[in-house]
Amino acid sequence: MTAPASAPALDLNAKLELYRMQVALRQFETRAYDLFLENYVKGTSHLSLGQEAIAAGFAAAMRPDDYTFATYRGHAHTLARGVPMTPVLAELMGRTNGLMAGKGGSMHLTSVEHGVMGSYAIIGAHLPIACGAAWSAQYRGTEQVAVCFFGDGSTNIGAFHEALNLAAIWKLPVVFVCENNLWMEYTRTTEITAVANPAADRASAYGLESIIVDGNDVDAVYEVAERAMTRARAGEGPSLIEALTYRHGGHSRADPGKYRPDAEVAEWMAKDPIPMYHARLLAEGATEAQLVEIELSVAAQVDQATEEAKAGPIPGADLLMKDVWADGGSAWRN
Amino acid sequence: MAQLTFREAISRGIAQEMRRDETVLAIGEDIGAAGGVFKGTVGLFEEFGPLRVRDTPISEQAILGAAMGAAMTGLKPIAEIMFSDFFAVCWDIVVNEIAKSRYMTNGQVTFPLVIRSGNGGGLRFGAQHSQSVENWAMMVPGLKVVVPSNALDVIGLMAAAVRDPDPVIFLEAKALYASKMDVPDGDIVDTLGTAKLLRQGSDATLVALGAMVPKALKAAEELATAGINCTVVDVRSLVPLDTATILREVSATGRLFTVEENPRLCGWGGELSSIVSEEIFYDLDGPIVRITTPHIPLPAADALEDMAIPSVQRIVSTVSESMSA
Ligand SMILES: Cc1ncc(C[n+]2csc(CCOP(=O)(O)OP(=O)(O)O)c2C)c(N)n1
Ligand SMILES: [Mg+2]
């Protein structure tokens, strides 16, 4: 284990940006939920309300050319890499101005130009894929890092273990981030997992340090991310980080999450990352006016994205048969 | 010109592409110093070293996931799945991830990768190491599927598969690994999506794939001595499918016999028969007949396996009975 070098301390401006990002993720997803209830957002969506600090903290530690691999709960990770709100919201609404012109939907947000290499909806599948991107960076000698986010429930699928082992033996520049929100869909993860800490307790099986971080504290997330990224860039191999957090709402769509005890929900609502950070920034010298300005400007941004997404054209038949193959078409015969 | 076995042709085809393009890499179980369990990668490790010819753990999802992630970030991996039956443990990566991601992302990602795998029976390995799985892949939108039947085609189609920007499932008939033929020196590059006319006759058209191709040719020779002259077409590529060549050759004789190693249901011959029925029905002079393995898992005993997989004798008798009916 290398000595944990301390991450460079963030100045107040950088912290205000972390605050802005978390507020943006919160307001965006709150709007997405409202639009779901109004039937503008169809199908399914999985929100990260309450988990914003992880996306914001990691994205701040990443280089623009680093790779993000996310799950179906991927709106926050996509936006955190700098993808604008309008195409993300339009994608949720199935419009042509969507990030993938409506062909992927909420669960598959991808923006290669921002390093968002996809959001994957088959549990665990993207961990080996992130290994592949890291292998490619290693072979090409680019010092890029792949960061792969997944849930606590995902630590029980085989692909998790195959990926961890491969990353360890090939010393791949990949950072695995388990967002432990205590629940898989409707089952408490500790009830179906052999160990108490689903990711951290598995780390030693792959020769990795056991790392747990408060996933609701963006500064702590940033610091642990920065350390893991530095280690990966230096060729010292992968990291596995377990970030403790909680989703404020249900698993998906209109799930009210009633299977969760009230006291547990209350405990975690009190640890909401955004009010916590708000208070910390005031203590560290930010003014209330600065924070309010951030909140209002984000609100205006969300309103504008909503209007732009709603104005987006409905996809036409030209898109249906497009891009099965690299030649842009879908022909399987001559 | 040199005489090459099918297995030697695999490493020659891969080496040809690795010399040309340093983003071409090979990964798989035992493919490095060991040269592969079927000896399909002999010599690659020595020539290209451990960074380009990389041994993996027994982790099929990790092998194909790594290939996918590498392909979407600038490399051209050739991944080996030792036996095609093992696709069952990593099929998610193939079907849900590799095949769908280009479409889902509106064309943001491409997957210039090749997945090679030993396919089919004839080696008395029993049901879990013998299946012909080409139809598993053929039915998935987003996958190209190539099945060569001889050493020359192995080299040329491997080159075409590596150079193709889309994912290609490259199935190597295990029954053919030891087969030999003369192959010209120098680079060989073929074209995906092209069937090959191997023999021309006027009475019936046999359309065969992979290990069934040499059997169809042999059967055609025997049928000729009985006065039935057959055309033989080697499909070579299930996706893209060269329907132009196949429809032309079926129209010319008015009869179609498919020779398929796969278990009966949903074999590629069923799709072909549907295309022929829809498009050239009035050119047919008799029923379309599919010669396949029965719908059973493959047995291990040589006597039983030989009964299951289409044999030269079964092709001859099926064709001659149907032609004289
Ligand atoms: C292979 C597979 N099995 C099951 C599912 C259905 N499913 C979707 S999300 C989910 C729970 C995942 O829990 P966790 O990994 O903790 O992530 P979270 O949703 O809490 O972020 C399940 C079971 C799936 N998508 N893929
Ligand atoms: Mg969870």
* Residue A132, in any domain of the structure: yes
The per-residue pLDDT for A4 is 46
Domain range holding A300? 12-253+263-284+296-307
Kindly report, residue by residue over A164-209, the tens digit of the pLDDT: 999 999 999 999 999 999 999 999 999 999 999 999 999 999 999 9
ipTM over 0.85: yes
A248 pLDDT more than 80: yes
- Copy the structure tokens of residue A60: 């701040």
Q: Is residue A2 situated within a structural domain?
A: no
**Rounded to a whole number, what is the distance in Å from the CA of B73 to chain A's nearest CA?**
6
The answer to whether the Cβ–Cβ distance between A162 and B166 falls below 8 Å is no
pLDDT of A3 > 50? The answer is no
* Protein residue closest via CA to atom 17 of ligand 1: A151
Is A53's pLDDT higher than 80?
yes
pLDDT surpassing 80 at residue A8 = no
Q: Does A108 touch chain B (CB under 8 A)?
A: yes
> Which of B53, B54, B44 has its CA nearest to residue B13?
B44
Q: Residue A329 falls within a domain, yes or no?
A: no
DSSP A59-83: HHHS-TT-EEEEESS-HHHHHHTT-
Question: Left, alpha or beta for A98 (phi > 0: left; psi -120 to 50: alpha)?
Answer: beta
Q: How many domains does chain A have?
A: 1
B46 burial type by CB count under 10 A (0-12 exposed, 13-18 middle, 19+ buried): exposed
User: How confident is the prediction for chain A on average, in pLDDT?
Assistant: 96
**Predicted pLDDT of residue A1:** 34
C-alpha B5/C-alpha B40 separation (Å) is 10
Between the CA of A255 and the centroid of ligand 1 the distance, in Å, is 14
Q: Is the pTM of this model over 0.90?
A: yes
What's the pLDDT at A7? Answer: 60
Q: Is A101 on the interface with B (CB under 8 A)?
A: yes
Sheet containing strand B114-119, edge to edge, reads B53-55, B24-28, B76-83, B114-119, B168-173, B144-146, B237-239
- Judged by CB atoms closer than 8 Å, whether chains meet at A132 and B107 is answered as no
Q: Which of A107, A206, A334 to mutate to test the interface with B (most CBs of B within 10 A)?
A: A334
Asked if residue B207 lies in contact with residue B231, where contact means CB atoms within 8 angstroms, the answer is no
CATH code, A33:
3.40.50.970
pLDDT at A268: 98
Pick the residue whose CA is nearest to atom 2 on ligand 1.
A123
The Å distance, Cα A144 to ligand 1 centre, comes to: 28
* Torsion sign across C-alpha atoms A191, A45, A178, A221: negative
Structural tokens at position A29: 């997803």
Nearest CA in chain B to A172: B66
- Tokens 């894929």 sit on residue: A129
Q: Which ligand 1 atom minimizes the distance to the CA of A121?
A: 25
Q: pLDDT tens for residues B29-70?
A: 999 999 999 999 999 999 999 999 999 999 999 999 999 999
- Helices (H) then strands (E): counts for chain A: 12, 6
Distance (Å) from the alpha carbon of A52 to chain B's nearest alpha carbon: 24
Report the atom number in ligand 1 closest to the C-alpha of A154: 15
Tell if the CB–CB gap between A139 and B193 is shorter than 8 Å. Answer: no
Strand partners, A139: none
Q: Which atom of ligand 1 is nearest to the CA of A184?
A: 13
Closest CA to B272 of B230, B322, B238: B238
Q: Which residues of B touch A159 (CB under 8 A)?
A: 61-62, 65, 92
Q: Which of residues 53-72 of A touch B (CB under 8 A)?
A: 67
Residue with tokens 């020595």: B46
Distant-in-sequence, close-in-space partners of A140: CB < 8 Å, separation ≥ 6: B74, B75
A102-121: per-residue pLDDT in tens?
A: 999 999 999 999 999 999 99
Tell me the mean pLDDT in the region A223-248: 98
User: Tell me, what's the pLDDT at A2?
Assistant: 40
How far away, in angstroms, is A130 Cα from ligand 1 center?
18
The mean pLDDT of B140-162, rounded to a whole number, is: 98
Of B66, B105, B193, the CB nearest to A100: B105
Instruction: For residue B104, list chain A residues with Cβ-Cβ distance below 8 A.
Output: 100, 103-104, 108, 110
Q: Kindly list the residues from chain A whose CB atom is less than 8 angstroms away from the CB atom of residue B51.
A: 139
Which strands form B256-263's sheet, in the order they lie side by side? Answer: B196-199, B230-234, B204-208, B256-263, B289-293
Q: How far is CA B197 from the centre of its chain?
A: 16
Using CB atoms, which residue from A140, A166, A328 is nearest to B57? Answer: A166
All domains in chain B, ordered by first residue: 2-183 (3.40.50.970), 196-324 (3.40.50.920)
- Identify whether A228 is part of a domain: yes
CB B197 within 8 A of CB B245: yes
Distance A198 CA to ligand 1 centre (A): 14
Chain B contacts of A104, Cβ < 8 Å? Answer: 104-106
Which H or E run includes A147?
Answer: strand A146-151
Pairwise CB contact (< 8 Å): B61 & A110: no
* B303 Cα to chain A: minimum distance (Å): 38
Q: Which range (A2-6, A13-17, A235-239, B261-265) has the least confidence? A: A2-6
Facing residue for B142 by CB, picked from A140, A324, A331: A324
Give the pLDDT confidence score for residue B107 in this predicted structure: 98
- Ligand 1 centroid, distance to A69 Cα (angstroms): 15
pLDDT in tens, A120-166: 999 999 999 999 999 999 999 999 999 999 999 999 999 999 999 99
Q: Evaluate whether residue A30 is within a structural domain.
A: yes
The protein residue whose alpha carbon is closest to atom 25 in ligand 1 is: A122
Q: Which residue from A minimizes the CA distance to B245? A: A334
SS3 of chain B: CEEEEHHHHHHHHHHHHHHHCCCEEEEECCCCCCCCCCCCCCCHHHHHCCCCEEECCCCHHHHHHHHHHHHCCCCEEEEEEEEHHHHHHCHHHHHHHHHHHHHHCCCCCCCCCEEEEEECCCCCCCHHHCCCCHHHHHCCCCCEEECCCCHHHHHHHHHHHHHCCCCEEEEEEHHHCCCEEEECCCCCCCCCCCCEEEECCCCEEEEECCCHHHHHHHHHHHHHHCCCCEEEEECCEEECECHHHHHHHHHHHCCEEEEEEEECCCCHHHHHHHHHHHHHHHHCCCCCEEEEECCCCCCCCHHHHHHHCCCHHHHHHHHHHHHHC
Helix (H, G, I), strand (E, B) or coil at A148: strand
Strands B24-28 and B76-83: parallel
Catalytic residues of B: 129
Q: Does position A291 have pLDDT exceeding 50, yes or no?
A: yes
Q: Which residue among A123, A149, A246 has the greatest number of ligand 1 atoms within 8 angstroms of its CB, and so is best to mutate?
A: A123
Query: What does residue A239 show for φ and ψ, rounded to 5 degrees?
Result: -135, 155
Find, among B265, B267, B256, B263, the residue nearest to B232 by Cα.
B256
CB B87, CB A150: distance < 8 Å: no
Tokens representing B237 are 């590529």
Long-range contacts of B240-243 (CB under 8 A, 24+ apart): B240/A331, B240/A332, B240/A333, B240/A334, B240/B144, B240/B192, B240/B193, B241/A332, B241/A333, B241/A334, B241/B193, B241/B272, B242/A333, B242/A334, B242/B193, B242/B194, B242/B195, B243/A333, B243/A334, B243/B275
A227/A284 Cα distance (integer angstroms):
23
Query: From the CA atom positions of chain B, what is the Rg in Å?
Result: 19
Query: Quick check: is A151 in a domain?
Result: yes
pLDDT of residue A284: 97
Q: Is residue A315 part of a domain?
A: no
Contact status of A122 with chain B (Cβ, < 8 Å): yes
Query: What's the longest Cα–Cα distance across chain A?
Result: 69
Minimal CA separation from B229 to chain A, in Å: 27
Which chain A residues are Cβ-neighbours of B244 within 8 angstroms? Answer: 334
Residue A253 confidence (pLDDT) = 85
Residue B277 reports pLDDT greater than 80: yes
Over pLDDT 90: what percentage of chain A? Answer: 96
A43: left (phi over 0), alpha (psi -120 to 50) or beta: left
Domain membership of residue A39 (yes or no) is yes
* CA dist., res. B210 & res. B293, Å (int): 14
Write out residues with Cβ below 6 Å of ligand 1.
A 73, 121-123, 150-154, 179, 181, 183-185, 189, 251
User: Looking at residues B222-237, what average pLDDT do you find?
Assistant: 98
- Which atom from ligand 1 is nearest to the alpha carbon of A185? 11
